[in-house]
Amino acid sequence: MPRMLAPAFDPERFRREARAVVDWIADYWQTLEPRPVRSQVAPGDVRAQLPPHAPDEPEPLAAVLADLDRVIVPGLTHWQHPAFFAYFPASASGPSILGELLAAGLGVQGMLWSTSPACTELETHVLDWLRELLGLPERFASSGMGGGVIHDSASSGLLCGLVAARERATHLQSNRHGLTQTDRPLVAYASAAAHSSFDKAARIAGLGSEWARRIAVDSRGCMDATALAAAMDADVAAGRIPCFVCATVGTTAAGAIDPVPEIAAVTARHNAWLHVDAAWAGAAALCPELRPPLVAGAEAADSWSFNPHKWLLVNFDCHALWVADRTSLVQALATRPDYLRNAATDSGGVIDYAEWQVPLGRRFRALKLWLALRMLGAEAIRGRIRAHVAWAGEFASWVAADPRFELLAPRSLSLVCFGLRAGDAASRRLLDRLNAGGTAFLTQATVGDRFALRLAVGAALTERRHVEAVWAELSRLADEAAQTA
Ligand SMILES: *Cc1c(COP(=O)(O)O)cnc(C)c1O
């Protein structure tokens, strides 16, 4: 006799177990502070504690949670820790996590409007809200030719922008797609300080690394628009087609902001696509007083993007991409097989977001953005961004006032790059010692040709006292790090 199938959905059991998991998460947040920020395990330590084979028989949730505590948590770097100042933040919030849970609970696929109309319409709507909150130009609103879409990451947003640009530069209004043997080389441009996803996108889109040009930056790390113009002119003279320019608003190393209006003027001369990557800094445009440099030139951009999952209190993954005209994006990515045909698509009156992204299937990511915006309210999010910027400003002033330290770039929003005057080796030792202590976690960047420690304030649980504490610790370790090892 075959056993009865155990139900995968047992609402009563789910109620009970979900409460236990939610309690586990709330306990985790409450006990984060004393934990070492960065995982202390060595490669292989986690797997060595896991059984070699998957179980045949069901195990209780309690056993899994026990292993979560015993095996998994020690192998975590705690990104929500209040003293997490590394990379860029991945700031989550209770409401966004509830949205994530709802998305999983509903389990719908939003690839086409018809596969779950609310999934598409909420996304379009929430991105219209967000466009307005950031003060982005009307051309990115869904009421015109443009609109917004949620991707997993800024890397995907950039890739889709590049693919749309490639389509526009080659065969818009033809039935061919992608590159053909006979096309002249297409060239893409970004600054030397732009994110590495630019190079990855050029490889994936088929341009190749040879035609992904890195343009020189000035001493602050901002793209030199004159050098861009020269590179584009030279490519045209050599018979190549300048196709795509990625401007960065808030570089990953030091938060530098490219001169987007000047870049836009150069880009327009060649009819190339202008993409703005504001992955981290874009969130600050929510605050009107911080906005002007962040959205400058946006009215000339073909696509503009940022990561709510970095600094807008929405848990990973949530990347917002707006396009001014969706035609070439859809032309590049739409496939329309018979098995997906439906009257709504045929009518041309709906958005099918599968045609705005690489995968076919898609999660209901708009829910977490919707819950975060509604349950926190824009004003509370602004308040937190302002606090982070203010604390980073104080931190930068402490660095500047201490003769052992120096700022290696102007503070950008909530990001401070600094080092020891004793030199790069000393700065490196300081970072290693700080991180080995476990009370805080910072990462490094190369700024100019210097090794910089990078303090990025933005974790949702961070308070001013955590910024003060990391400064106290850095000051305490500075003298010993400055002495040669
Ligand atoms: C973080 C970052 C990215 C990459 O973000 P993902 O969403 O992880 O792909 C791209 N560009 C900039 C400027 C970034 O800071």
> What pLDDT is attached to residue 320?
98
| 264-273 per-position pLDDT tens digit | 999 999 999 9
Cα 475 to middle of ligand 1, angstroms: 31
Taking the domain 102-376, which CATH number applies?
3.40.640.10
What are the domain boundaries of the chain?
14-81, 102-376, 378-482
> What pLDDT is attached to residue 295?
98
The amino acid that residue 416 corresponds to is: V
> What pLDDT is attached to residue 280?
98
- State both tokens at 397: 């002033």
Cα 277 to middle of ligand 1, angstroms: 8
Cβ of 319 closer than 6 Å to ligand 1, yes or no, is yes
* SS3 assignment for the chain: CCCCCCCCCCHHHHHHHHHHHHHHHHHHHHCCCCCCCCCCCCCCHHHHCCCCCCCCCCCCHHHHHHHHHHHHHHHCCCCCCCCECCCCCCCCCHHHHHHHHHHHHHCCCCCCHHHCHHHHHHHHHHHHHHHHHHCCCHHHCCCCCCEEEEECCHHHHHHHHHHHHHHHHHCCCCCCCCCCCCCCCEEEEEECCCCCHHHHHHHHCCCCHHHEEEECECCCCCECHHHHHHHHHHHHHCCCEEEEEEEEECCCCCCCECCHHHHHHHHHHCCCEEEEECCCHHHHHHCCCCCHHHHCCHHHCCEEEECHHHHCCCCCCCEEEEECCCHHHHHHHCCCCHHHCCHHHHHCCCCCHHHHCCCCCCCCCHHHHHHHHHHHCHHHHHHHHHHHHHHHHHHHHHHHHCCCEEECCCCECCEEEEEECCCHHHHHHHHHHHHHHCCCECEEEEECCEEEEEEECCCCCCCHHHHHHHHHHHHHHHHHHHCCC
The upper half-sphere exposure of residue 294, i.e. CA atoms within 13 Å in the direction of its Cβ, equals 23
- Torsion of the alpha carbons at 138, 139, 143 and 144, rounded to the nearest 10: 150
Whose alpha carbon is nearest atom 4 of ligand 1? 154
The whole-number average pLDDT for the span 327-334 is 94
Q: For residue 77, is pLDDT > 80?
A: yes
Whose alpha carbon is nearest atom 5 of ligand 1? 154
Cα 151 to middle of ligand 1, angstroms: 12
> What pLDDT is attached to residue 209?
92
Cα 154 to middle of ligand 1, angstroms: 5
Cβ of 313 closer than 6 Å to ligand 1, yes or no, is no
Cβ of 195 closer than 6 Å to ligand 1, yes or no, is yes
Strand-pair partners of 445: 452
Cα 340 to middle of ligand 1, angstroms: 32
Cα 155 to middle of ligand 1, angstroms: 6
Whose alpha carbon is nearest atom 1 of ligand 1? 279
Which atom of ligand 1 lies closest to the CA of 278?
13
Whose alpha carbon is nearest atom 12 of ligand 1? 279
Cα 279 to middle of ligand 1, angstroms: 5
What's the pTM value of the predicted model, to 2 decimals?
A: 0.96
Q: In what order do the strands lie in the sheet with 241-248?
A: 147-151, 319-323, 303-306, 273-277, 241-248, 186-191, 212-215
| 125-183 per-position pLDDT tens digit | 999 999 999 999 999 999 999 999 999 999 999 999 999 999 999 876 577 788 876 67
The whole-number average pLDDT for the span 304-325 is 98
Whose alpha carbon is nearest atom 14 of ligand 1? 279
In this prediction, what percent of the chain has a pLDDT beyond 70? 98
> What pLDDT is attached to residue 3?
64
Cα 173 to middle of ligand 1, angstroms: 32
> What pLDDT is attached to residue 470?
98
Q: For residue 2, is pLDDT > 80?
A: no
The whole-number average pLDDT for the span 401-414 is 98
Q: For residue 309, is pLDDT > 80?
A: yes
> Is the CATH number of domain 14-81 1.20.1340.10?
yes
Rounded to whole angstroms, the Cα distance separating 253 from 443 reads 10
Q: Greater confidence, 2 or 50?
A: 50
> What pLDDT is attached to residue 179?
80
Q: How many Cβ atoms are within 10 Å of 444's Cβ, its own excluded?
A: 19
Cα 278 to middle of ligand 1, angstroms: 8
Which atom of ligand 1 lies closest to the CA of 319?
7
Cβ of 88 closer than 6 Å to ligand 1, yes or no, is yes
Q: For residue 1, is pLDDT > 60?
A: no
| 97-112 per-position pLDDT tens digit | 999 999 999 999 999 9
Kindly indicate the confidence band of residue 378, based on its pLDDT and cuts at 50, 70 and 90. very high
Whose alpha carbon is nearest atom 8 of ligand 1? 153
Contact of 167 with 331, CB cutoff 8 Å = yes
Q: For residue 88, is pLDDT > 60?
A: yes
> What pLDDT is attached to residue 485?
56
Which atom of ligand 1 lies closest to the CA of 310?
1
Cα 252 to middle of ligand 1, angstroms: 7
Strands 303-306 and 273-277: parallel
Which atom of ligand 1 lies closest to the CA of 197?
10
Kindly indicate the confidence band of residue 347, based on its pLDDT and cuts at 50, 70 and 90. very high
> What pLDDT is attached to residue 167?
93
> What pLDDT is attached to residue 8?
80
> Is the CATH number of domain 378-482 3.90.1150.10?
yes
